[in-house]
Amino acid sequence: MTDRNNERSSVEVNRRQMLAVTGSALGAALVPGAGALAQTRVTVDEANLRPRPIAIPAFLGEDPRLAQAIADVVQADLERSGLFRPLDRGAFIEQINDLATAPRFADWRAVGAEALVVGQVTKLQDGRFRAEFRLWDTVLGKSLTAQHFATDPRAWRRLGHIIADQIYEKLTLEKGYFDTRVVFIDETGPKNKRLKRLAIMDQDGHNVRLLSSGQELVLTPRFNPQSQQICYMSYVGGNPRVQMMDLATGQRQVVGDFPNMTFAPRFAPDGRRIVMSLQEGGASSLVEMDLGSRRISQLTQTGAIDTGPCYAPDGRQIVFESDREGTQQLYVMGANGAGQRRISSGPGRYSTPVWSPRGDYIAFTKQYAGRFLIGVMRPDGTGERVLTEGFHNEGPTWAPNGRVLMFFREHRGANGGPSIYSIDLTGYNERRVTTPSFASDPAWSPLLS
């Protein structure tokens, strides 16, 4: 009897064990990664955030100087972004001789490169030249992209910017901003008799061209997001007026026929409308003009000074500054002027609001405690943070990818003057943009290509 009981219990145990084993096996088979639950698990929640090391050897080509110059433009663009750290070419182990052959990844990893750009420039029969490049991920050991472009030899710098944009986009998953231009006010002469002229340059400060002679005062130039067209305020016959200029043709025209002064213009995202301030006695209101029909809509009329309007990237809202409550503050309203509400709430005075092309932030100038700050806040007024501060910072403008800003900084002293600076949205990587003379009031263009 006892033996039988023992036998039965042992049978039960075996069945139970077998059921358990079967259950485990089924579970492991049905649940993906279930087997991994019993393994050592590691959670990495800290990163070593740093610019990515990238190797950009001189491009190959019949004209080594041109090939190297293009590679230099690419390298300088990536370096200025603050997201990449180009490596010293002298340290490279492998000599690139051929774009078709895969590089020795171990050699590039050995010098610390995470990415490698190889390129080649060849002359075409029609006088143009062709540039091609290939981007490698040296750590993963794979090609990320390979492209080629043909252009006029005079546009070699732009070609470098275009290649840099492609690399930037591939490695950051965001649109680049190197093939862009900046209009600004070029300032020359003594402080009390400063000559202010409209000028344009590449985003890296090269290729500066003057767009006005300096006979008339020009202020607040703004780019049309859809074309190579700018609007600005100019004293035409001693009367301030908003004007437009086609950069390709140099043709100018006055925007609207207003009895009073118009200023602080800004294109709508679709490029078909302009919103601006219209002086009315001691106050100013905001008006919108349809460039096609020339129809004018009054957006605000509060008896206060409403100015500095800027559209949201979807064109549905407008942010502007107003002193209707005593001091300059930021307000947001619908594109038709409805639903005006204040968004700035901190101490100090807020001005020159600019909506980011990504739509996530509004940049502004803030005057507080005798200093001028450049900051950003969410469109609802939350998340305000200061990117930079100083004696006199003003006039932020966004790069088309919404990640970098430019602004100008006035330096003290009799010989002091304004200079243009760029800064990352995070507040890091502040760089001065080299210009031939003093420069103020920058406005960033959309991507040219």
Partner 1 sequence: MYFGLTVSMVAHLALLGWALMAFQTTEPYKMAEPEAVEVAIISADELVRLRQGDRDSKKLETRPAEKIEKKPTEQEAKREIVKTVPPPAASPPEAQDDPISKKLAALQPVEPKGPTAEEIAAKKAAEEAAKKAADEAAKKAAAQKAAEELALQKAAEEKKKQAEAEAEKKRKADAEKKRKAEERRKRVAAEKKRRQDADRKRKLAEQRRRDKERQAKSFDSGKISALLNKIPDAAAPQGGNPDPNARPDAPRGARAGAPEGRDTRLTASQRSLLGAMMKRAVSQCWNINSGLEGVDRMVVELEVRLGPDGRLQGQPRVANNRGGAIFQDAVNSAVRALIQCEPYDLPKEFYKGGWDHMVVTFDPQKMF
Q: Provide, rounded to whole angstroms, the least separation between the CB of residue 78 and partner 1.
A: 14
443 close to 228: Cβ distance less than 8 angstroms:
no
Per-residue contact track with partner 1, 407 to 426, x per CB under 8 A?
-----------------xxx
Measured CA to CA, the distance from residue 300 to residue 160 in angstroms comes to 45
Q: Provide, rounded to whole angstroms, the least separation between the CB of residue 22 and partner 1.
A: 6
* Alpha helix ranges (H) inside 56-138: 64-80, 105-110
Measured CA to CA, the distance from residue 367 to residue 375 in angstroms comes to 11
The one-letter amino acid at 73:
V
Q: Provide, rounded to whole angstroms, the least separation between the CB of residue 398 and partner 1.
A: 14
Per CB under 8 A, which region of 16-24, 153-161, 338-346, 376-384 contacts partner 1?
16-24
- As given in the structure block, the two tokens for residue 53 are 């090391």
Site for partner 1 in 300-359 (CB under 8 A): 358
Per CB under 8 A, which region of 136-144, 201-209, 291-299, 328-336 contacts partner 1?
136-144
Measured CA to CA, the distance from residue 263 to residue 280 in angstroms comes to 12
Q: Which 8-state DSSP code applies to residue 292?
A: T
Judged by CB, which is closer to partner 1: 20, or 210?
20
The one-letter amino acid at 402:
G
Q: Is 23 left (phi over 0), alpha (psi -120 to 50) or beta?
A: alpha
Q: Is 18 helix (H, G, I), strand (E, B) or coil?
A: helix
Q: Is 18 in the site for partner 1 (CB under 8 A)?
A: yes
Per CB under 8 A, which region of 33-41, 237-245, 280-288, 392-400 contacts partner 1?
33-41
Q: Which of 2, 30, 45, 250 binds partner 1 (CB under 8 A)?
A: 45
Cα 326 versus chain centre, distance: 33
149 close to 162: Cβ distance less than 8 angstroms:
yes
Measured from the Cβ of residue 422, the count of other Cβ atoms closer than 10 Å reads 25
In degrees and rounded to multiples of 5, residue 39 shows phi and psi of -85, 170
Per CB under 8 A, which region of 22-30, 220-228, 254-262, 337-345 contacts partner 1?
22-30
233 close to 244: Cβ distance less than 8 angstroms:
no
Judged by CB, which is closer to partner 1: 165, or 321?
165
Per CB under 8 A, which region of 54-62, 168-176, 246-254, 341-349 contacts partner 1?
168-176
Site for partner 1 in 137-156 (CB under 8 A): 137, 139-140
Q: Which of 2, 4, 30, 43 binds partner 1 (CB under 8 A)?
A: 43
**How many chain residues touch partner 1 (CB under 8 A)?**
40
Q: Is 47 in the site for partner 1 (CB under 8 A)?
A: yes
Per CB under 8 A, which region of 36-44, 290-298, 366-374, 409-417 contacts partner 1?
36-44
CA neighbours closer than 13 Å in the CB half-sphere of residue 184: 35
285 close to 268: Cβ distance less than 8 angstroms:
no
Per CB under 8 A, which region of 31-39, 329-337, 341-349, 439-447 contacts partner 1?
31-39
Judged by CB, which is closer to partner 1: 38, or 338?
38
Q: Provide, rounded to whole angstroms, the least separation between the CB of residue 95 and partner 1.
A: 24
User: E-strand spans in 282-417?
Assistant: 283-290, 296-298, 306-311, 317-322, 329-334, 341-342, 349-355, 362-368, 371-377, 385-390, 393-398, 404-410
Judged by CB, which is closer to partner 1: 13, or 21?
21
Q: Is 49 in the site for partner 1 (CB under 8 A)?
A: yes
Measured CA to CA, the distance from residue 402 to residue 416 in angstroms comes to 30
Q: Provide, rounded to whole angstroms, the least separation between the CB of residue 114 and partner 1.
A: 7
Q: Is 42 in the site for partner 1 (CB under 8 A)?
A: yes
Binding site for partner 1 (CB under 8 A): 18, 21-22, 24-25, 28, 32-33, 35-36, 38-50, 52, 83, 109, 114, 137, 139-140, 171-174, 358, 360, 403, 424-426
